[in-house]
Amino acid sequence: MRSLIFLAILSLLALTFPVSIASEPSPVQDFCVGVNTPSDGVFVNGKFCKDPKLATVDDFFFTGLDRQRIATNAVGTNVTPVFADNLPGLNTLGIAFARVDYAPNGLIPPHTHPRASEFLIVQEGSLYAGFVSSDQDGNRLFSKILNKGDLIVFPVGLIHFHVNVGRGPAVAFTAFNSQNPGLITIAKTVFGSNPRINPNALAKAFQLDPRIVMSLQTKF
């Protein structure tokens, strides 16, 4: 009988534990508009809560996502984030959003979000997007050409990417199930760490000449 109870408890923990670690803390009020000064309230999720009586609609409002951004960075993209830092009403709600503008051939390079899954929906153009499963699953590539109105989901923590493969600029919107999904860009993290990872270690890991590794490290 004890073993059955123990197994039942383990089963319940297995069902509830992933949910508890994936969700944001449960709010004890309608909202917690984030501010940076301690005089305004309690510290929650990296922000202090504004007195709810002082909240206004502007704390929950963001405009300008219809405007095209020029993609001028090295990889040909421009990301407009809508996080709790610039939309304080998002604090503790467990969501975040972004607009991505792509130049022709622009891309968001392989990266992960350690604290969130992601939706990507194409507003304009065509994207090649995908993610790679874990070592345990055989590093399988799940990829698709996405056109206007198409959507793909990137599971939490998995390496993913999106590339503009159309003839002109492209636009996509992304949404995350965390107010702070985190970002680890693979190439920048591996070759641009501070301090640098020993080139000989990276050379062995990637089966490259150490001189090639050192050359890559100068780019990040």
Handedness of CA 171, 186, 113, 86 (dihedral sign): negative
Range list of β-strands (E), the chain: 34-35, 43-44, 47-49, 77-82, 96-102, 107-112, 118-124, 127-132, 141-146, 151-154, 159-164, 170-176, 184-185
Q: How far is 152 from 130, CA to CA, in rounded Å? A: 8
Is 162 assigned to a binding site?
no
Token match 């891309």: residue?
107
Q: With contact defined as beta carbons under 8 Å apart, do 89 and 55 qualify?
A: yes
Q: How far is 211 from 220, CA to CA, in rounded Å? A: 15
* Backbone torsions φ then ψ of 11, nearest 5 degrees: -65, -40
How many CB atoms are located within 10 Å of the residue 147 CB?
13
For residue 79, the SS3 value is strand
Is 113 assigned to a binding site?
yes
Which residues contribute to the annotated binding site for Mn(2+)?
111, 113, 118, 160
| Residue ranges at the known binding site | 111, 113, 118, 160
Residues of each annotated binding site for oxalate: 113, 118
